[in-house]
Amino acid sequence: MAKRKLSHQQKRRISKAQQSINLDDKNTHQGLIISHHGGEVEVQPDKQGEPNIHCKLRTNLGAIVCGDRVYYRKENHDLSIIAIKPRQNLLQRLDGFGQLKAVAANVTQLLICLSIEPEPNLFLLDQYLLSAEQQQIDALIVLNKIDLVNANNPDPFELKKIYQPMGYQVIHTSIMNNFNIDTLQQCCSEHTNVISGVSGVGKSSITKAILPETEIPIGEISEVNKEGKHTTRTSRLYHLPRGGILIDTPGVRGFNPVFDKNIPIASGFREINELAQNCQFSNCNHTHEPKCAVTNAVNSAEIRKNRYENYLKLLQESQK
């Protein structure tokens, strides 16, 4: 997998922090971030057999998230994180106030969790797919609570019909009868996975179905608006029994991608990106340009109107 480029500021900060690390120092250890709340993180030491520890954070470290690999040591009676190891990538989004929110680090696969109820929001799904494509993270679409639909509906919301031809895997799951939980676990086994989606779709329930021995809080669905109640408050990293890592995250209200000026929005829309090669202009935005293969394909229904509208919406947001 290609590595994401670090900004100059990040590089400077990391190298400054690392200059102060003496790796030969017996008191400097390495570990993996399991969770982060308040000013503290839970760390799994790299040294086998050692129990997890809680560490304070140095103020100059910046965001520190599940999946980060860190150096820590004892400082004034407390254990403190002193540096973050260079990251393979950092899954980020913009929150409702336009602020950058780091979700998890060193991620190789994003499980986009949707459900029968609450119903999938396909714009949100396209936002996730764009984020994953731009950050070179594999994406897998999970449609949970499949027990809530009639057994003779093989493709609720047409997710398979729409997304499988683009190369995305769509897995239907249910925790009621453990339906496809094994298949999902198999798909996760060689990855550092993040499971994300709106509140109440069953992210923690799926995590618990894979790890039945682990205590994981599960919420209820509101009778009034059929939404979840934001039960999971902080992300947590779990090691899966058959290999791989799963990071359960709090429910999101949206997943605004962090736009990268060097990567066209179309790169997050596989069917648009493929046809873009046939446009007359190499920098075609596929809006009003002449001889645009994409708008032609929209007109002939080769590209779905909904996907194109989501593309336009995200293109517009990226230009703000």
Ligand X SMILES: Nc1nc2c(ncn2[C@@H]2O[C@H](COP(=O)(O)OP(=O)(O)OP(=O)(O)O)[C@@H](O)[C@H]2O)c(=O)[nH]1
Residues that bind ligand X (CB under 6 A): 144-145, 147-148, 174-176, 199-205, 218-221, 228-232, 250-251
The interface partner of residue 244, options being ligand X, Zn ion, Mg ion, none and the CB cut-off 5 to 8 Å by kind, is none
317 CB-contact burial (10 Å; exposed 0-12 / middle 13-18 / buried 19+) = middle
Which residues of the shown chain bind Mg ion in the complex (CB under 5 A)?
Answer: 203-204, 231-232
d(CA 235, CA 300): 44
Pair of tokens at residue 6: 């670090």
Nearest distance from residue 294's CB to Zn ion, in Å? 4
The interface partner of residue 144, options being Mg ion, ligand X, Zn ion, none and the CB cut-off 5 to 8 Å by kind, is ligand X
Which residues pair with residue 172 across a beta bridge? Answer: 143
| Binds Zn ion (CB under 5 A): choice among 284, 297, 298, 314 | 284
Nearest distance from residue 161's CB to Zn ion, in Å? 25
Nearest distance from residue 156's CB to ligand X, in Å? 13
d(CA 101, CA 150): 38
303 interacts with Zn ion by CB under 5 A: no
d(CA 316, CA 132): 19
Cis ω before 118 (30° cut-off from 0): yes
292 interacts with Zn ion by CB under 5 A: yes
Residues from 253 through 282 that contact Zn ion (CB under 5 A)? 279
Spatial neighbors of 85 by CB under 8 A, at least 6 apart, are 30, 68, 69, 70, 71
Pair of tokens at residue 108: 């190789």
Residue 305 identity: K
105 interacts with Zn ion by CB under 5 A: no
The interface partner of residue 294, options being Mg ion, ligand X, Zn ion, none and the CB cut-off 5 to 8 Å by kind, is Zn ion
Nearest distance from residue 144's CB to Mg ion, in Å? 12
Nearest distance from residue 138's CB to ligand X, in Å? 21
The interface partner of residue 279, options being Zn ion, ligand X, Mg ion, none and the CB cut-off 5 to 8 Å by kind, is Zn ion
294 interacts with Zn ion by CB under 5 A: yes
Nearest distance from residue 129's CB to ligand X, in Å? 19
84 or 175: CB nearest ligand X: 175
192 or 199: CB nearest ligand X: 199
19 or 282: CB nearest Zn ion: 282
The answer to whether the CB of 247 falls within 8 A of the CB of 65 is: no
The interface partner of residue 284, options being Zn ion, Mg ion, ligand X, none and the CB cut-off 5 to 8 Å by kind, is Zn ion
Using CB under 5 A as the binding criterion, the count of chain residues that bind Zn ion stands at: 5
The interface partner of residue 45, options being ligand X, Zn ion, Mg ion, none and the CB cut-off 5 to 8 Å by kind, is none
The interface partner of residue 199, options being Mg ion, Zn ion, ligand X, none and the CB cut-off 5 to 8 Å by kind, is ligand X
Give contact residues for Zn ion (rule: CB under 5 A): 279, 284, 286, 292, 294
